[in-house]
Chains A and B, each alone.
Chain A
Amino acid sequence: MDLAFTPEEQKFADDVRTFVRANLPADVRDKVKNGKHLGRDDYMRWQQALGKKGWLVYTWPKKHGGPGFTPAERYIFENICAEEYAPGIIPFGTKMVGPVIYTFGSEEQKAKYLPAIRESTVWWCQGYSEPGSGSDLASLRTKADKEGDHYIVNGSKTWNTMGHWADWIFCLVRTDSKSKPQEGISFLLIDMKTPGITVKPIIMADGGHEVNEVFFDNVSVPAANLVGKENEGWTCAKFLLANERLGIAAVPQSKRGVEALKDIARIEQDNGRPLIENQSFAEKIADLEIQVTALEYTELRVLSAMAHGGQPGPEVSGLKIRGSEIQQRITELTMEAVGEYSAPYLPGLLWQGTNEAPVGPEYAHLAAPRYFNTRKTTIYGGSNEIQKGIISKMVLGL
């Protein structure tokens, strides 16, 4: 056991940093640093730069075109990207559908879809939840009826993140309504330009638009777009959920968040002194940092176990629970630091990037919307109640 990085690993870290500094567009970096909202193009420019280097799909094995990073290299890569204010990699292609395709897909599917995911020329989104199927995903009702060499898809998906920017969607659909809920589900890839697909925005509590409802009205999908076997989509779904939970802890982003919080607490005043000198507040930040450290080392332990040949087990649910709580706590303390200057609501500045001057410091108008928006982290990707249910059943045997 050793916490120190080897000389090779240190060199790798330098390489990553040099690459990020040379290739991350300055305007994108500024937006991330100031907590502004990013547009589709902002993500794409960065992801395509990574794609050209072969690092976008940094979790993929070599044989599918990934760099085959060791756990230490992944850790270094993620942390340096976060430190350098790179945007988070959109997971739908790289961390979700990509691994499903290379694990369960046919050779043609691999040839057709993987290159565009590696290079970020196609934007993917996820069609899982439905209005009546949230935590109880297996109760989904969007139907796909076989008709010749096509499926005809009818139904609706919800909480679809960034679907308004997407080229393709991967969906769980019901292909057999007679069997048990989990057994009649299939995993289907659908081109968003297919006639019959409508995307309707859902406005969030902070006034933002990031999620949608997606309606399917007699959408015709080639049978060749089925991944894995018909009615065996639940296997893909479970595989994907376990993979998703790993990255969802967002440790590097939280480390960056703690640093940003400290910067704000150095600027904000409390009785004529920087807020960070207020003992109660300093203790709250310390408590948060310790939580982040505990999470980081737990994640490292899991990664190390996987490096010795293991799949992410159900205990990664614990990482998602703590990771999401920490993300929420960061936004809560940031809002506390900003104080009453969190109250002004400036939607123009927040959403349209207008030139409106902020009220108070630049970071103030983001504090409350962030706090409201981040409540989603304990709900999405399987709510924390569901994650605890998984641990209770699969790990503890209750």
Chain B
Amino acid sequence: MDLALKPEHKAFADEIRAFARANLSPATREKTLSGKHYDRDDHMVWQQALGKKGWLTYTWPKKFGGPGWDVTRRFLFENVLAEEGAPRILPFGPKMVGPVIYTFGNDEQKARFLPGIRESTVSWCQGYSEPGAGSDLANLRTKAERDGDHYVVNGQKTWTSYAHWGDWIFCLVRTNTEAKPQEGISFLLIDMKTPGVTVRPIIMLDGAHAVNDVFLDNVKVPVANLVGKENDGWTCAKFLLANERLGIAEVPSSKRGVSMLRSISDDPSMAEKIADVDLQVQALEMSELRALSAMALGGAPGPEVSTLKVRGSEIQQRIAELAMEAVGEYAAPYQPGMLFHDSNETPVGPDHAPPAAPRYFNMRKTSIYGGSTEIQKNIVSKMVLGL
């Protein structure tokens, strides 16, 4: 056992850092560090730079065009990028649909979709939740009916992050209404430009627009866009959820959050609260490293990674809460210009004040999305503890 980095890993970290400094736009970096909202270009320009270097899909094995990095390199990559203020990589292509396609898709699908994901020339979004199917995802009702070599899709997806930026959406749809809920679901790729697809924004409590309703009204989707077998989509869904839970702990950005907290507060009783969340982040990081290390010895992410998601979301919330506590009453002024636009307004209060409360409000989502905390605990209770 050893925590120390080998010389080649140190060189690797330096290489990542140099790359980030050369390729990340200062404006985007500034948005990260001050907690402002990104626009589509902030993500795409940065992701395309990573794509060109072959690093965007850094978790992929070599045979699908990933760099085939070991656990240590992935760890360093994520941490250095977070330290440098890079936006997080939008997971819908590289971490969600990409691995589903290379695991369950056919060769044509791999050839057709993987390059666009690797290079970030195509923006993906996720069509999972529905108004009546949140925690109970298998209850989804969006129907896909076979009509010759097409499916005709009708229904509604909700909580679709960045659907308004999306070129493609991957959807869970019902292809058999007679079978048990989990057994009649298929995994379908849909071009957002197809007639019948409508996107409606949902404005969040902090005033931001990140998620949407997506309406599907007689949308024609070629059968060639079905991934895996018909009615076997639940297998893809579970695979994707387990993968998602691993990265969702967001340790590197929480580490950045802890440094941010220390930089805005020097009150001694705040210092202990910050120390406490700092230690929570360290515990989470070690737990994640232990899970990754077990995976490196040949294992898929097990259901216990659900606990990483639970803790990760609580920590993100706690950091946002402490940041607001540090700002005090100056968290009250609502300054949308400072948050969503590159406005030159002078902030009321310190520079870090405008995003404090909106971020606190917004971060409440982390214990709800990607399978709520309650659902994650159900998973662990059943799959790990056998209750």
A283 nearest in chain B by CB position: B269
- Asked if A280 is an interface residue, CB under 8 A from chain B, the answer is yes
What are 5 A-B contacts defined by CB distance under 8 Å? Answer: A279-B268, A279-B269, A280-B269, A280-B272, A283-B269
CB < 8 Å A-B pair total: 5
Within 8 Å CB of A283, what residues of B? 269
- Give A contacts to B, CB under 8 Å: 279-280, 283
Within 8 Å CB of B269, what residues of A? 279-280, 283
Within 8 Å CB of A279, what residues of B? 268-269
B268 nearest in chain A by CB position: A279
B272 nearest in chain A by CB position: A280
What sequence of 0s and 1s flags, for each residue 261-293 of chain B, a beta carbon within 8 Å of any chain A beta carbon? 000000011001000000000000000000000
Taken together as a complex, chains A and B put the C-alpha atoms of A279 and B273 apart, in Å, by 14
Taken together as a complex, chains A and B put the C-alpha atoms of A291 and B147 apart, in Å, by 65
Within 8 Å CB of B268, what residues of A? 279
Q: How far is the CB of B325 from chain A (nearest CB, A)?
A: 14
The A-contacting residues of B in range 79-131, CB under 8 angstroms, are none
Taken together as a complex, chains A and B put the C-alpha atoms of A280 and B268 apart, in Å, by 10
- Give B contacts to A, CB under 8 Å: 268-269, 272
Within 8 Å CB of B272, what residues of A? 280
Taken together as a complex, chains A and B put the C-alpha atoms of A23 and B272 apart, in Å, by 50
Taken together as a complex, chains A and B put the C-alpha atoms of A283 and B272 apart, in Å, by 13
A279 nearest in chain B by CB position: B269
Taken together as a complex, chains A and B put the C-alpha atoms of A279 and B272 apart, in Å, by 11
Q: How far is the CB of B339 from chain A (nearest CB, A)?
A: 34
Q: How far is the CB of B143 from chain A (nearest CB, A)?
A: 33
Q: Considering the complex of A and B, which 5 residue pairs feature the smallest CB-CB distances, nearest first? A: A279-B269, A280-B272, A283-B269, A280-B269, A279-B268
Q: How far is the CB of B151 from chain A (nearest CB, A)?
A: 41
Taken together as a complex, chains A and B put the C-alpha atoms of A212 and B55 apart, in Å, by 68
B269 nearest in chain A by CB position: A279
A280 nearest in chain B by CB position: B272
Q: How far is the CB of A279 from chain B (nearest CB, A)?
A: 7
Taken together as a complex, chains A and B put the C-alpha atoms of A111 and B185 apart, in Å, by 73
Q: How far is the CB of A285 from chain B (nearest CB, A)?
A: 15
Q: How far is the CB of B276 from chain A (nearest CB, A)?
A: 11
Taken together as a complex, chains A and B put the C-alpha atoms of A280 and B270 apart, in Å, by 11
Taken together as a complex, chains A and B put the C-alpha atoms of A303 and B179 apart, in Å, by 57
Taken together as a complex, chains A and B put the C-alpha atoms of A283 and B267 apart, in Å, by 15
Q: How far is the CB of B280 from chain A (nearest CB, A)?
A: 18
Q: How far is the CB of A387 from chain B (nearest CB, A)?
A: 21
Q: How far is the CB of A11 from chain B (nearest CB, A)?
A: 45
Q: How far is the CB of A12 from chain B (nearest CB, A)?
A: 43
Q: How far is the CB of A44 from chain B (nearest CB, A)?
A: 48
Q: How far is the CB of B273 from chain A (nearest CB, A)?
A: 11
Q: How far is the CB of B283 from chain A (nearest CB, A)?
A: 21
Q: How far is the CB of A287 from chain B (nearest CB, A)?
A: 12
Taken together as a complex, chains A and B put the C-alpha atoms of A261 and B335 apart, in Å, by 47
Taken together as a complex, chains A and B put the C-alpha atoms of A280 and B272 apart, in Å, by 9
Taken together as a complex, chains A and B put the C-alpha atoms of A280 and B273 apart, in Å, by 11
Q: How far is the CB of B270 from chain A (nearest CB, A)?
A: 12
Taken together as a complex, chains A and B put the C-alpha atoms of A386 and B268 apart, in Å, by 40
Within 8 Å CB of A280, what residues of B? 269, 272
Taken together as a complex, chains A and B put the C-alpha atoms of A283 and B269 apart, in Å, by 10
Taken together as a complex, chains A and B put the C-alpha atoms of A167 and B225 apart, in Å, by 81
Q: How far is the CB of B248 from chain A (nearest CB, A)?
A: 30
Q: How far is the CB of B266 from chain A (nearest CB, A)?
A: 15
Q: How far is the CB of A9 from chain B (nearest CB, A)?
A: 41
Q: How far is the CB of A122 from chain B (nearest CB, A)?
A: 46
Taken together as a complex, chains A and B put the C-alpha atoms of A283 and B270 apart, in Å, by 13
Q: How far is the CB of A319 from chain B (nearest CB, A)?
A: 27
Q: How far is the CB of B370 from chain A (nearest CB, A)?
A: 26
Taken together as a complex, chains A and B put the C-alpha atoms of A271 and B15 apart, in Å, by 48
Q: How far is the CB of A47 from chain B (nearest CB, A)?
A: 46
Q: How far is the CB of B275 from chain A (nearest CB, A)?
A: 12
Q: How far is the CB of A16 from chain B (nearest CB, A)?
A: 41
Taken together as a complex, chains A and B put the C-alpha atoms of A279 and B268 apart, in Å, by 10
Q: How far is the CB of A388 from chain B (nearest CB, A)?
A: 16
Taken together as a complex, chains A and B put the C-alpha atoms of A211 and B269 apart, in Å, by 43
Taken together as a complex, chains A and B put the C-alpha atoms of A279 and B270 apart, in Å, by 12
Taken together as a complex, chains A and B put the C-alpha atoms of A354 and B269 apart, in Å, by 44
Q: How far is the CB of A385 from chain B (nearest CB, A)?
A: 15
Q: How far is the CB of A229 from chain B (nearest CB, A)?
A: 41
Q: How far is the CB of B336 from chain A (nearest CB, A)?
A: 36
Q: How far is the CB of B329 from chain A (nearest CB, A)?
A: 21
Q: How far is the CB of B274 from chain A (nearest CB, A)?
A: 14
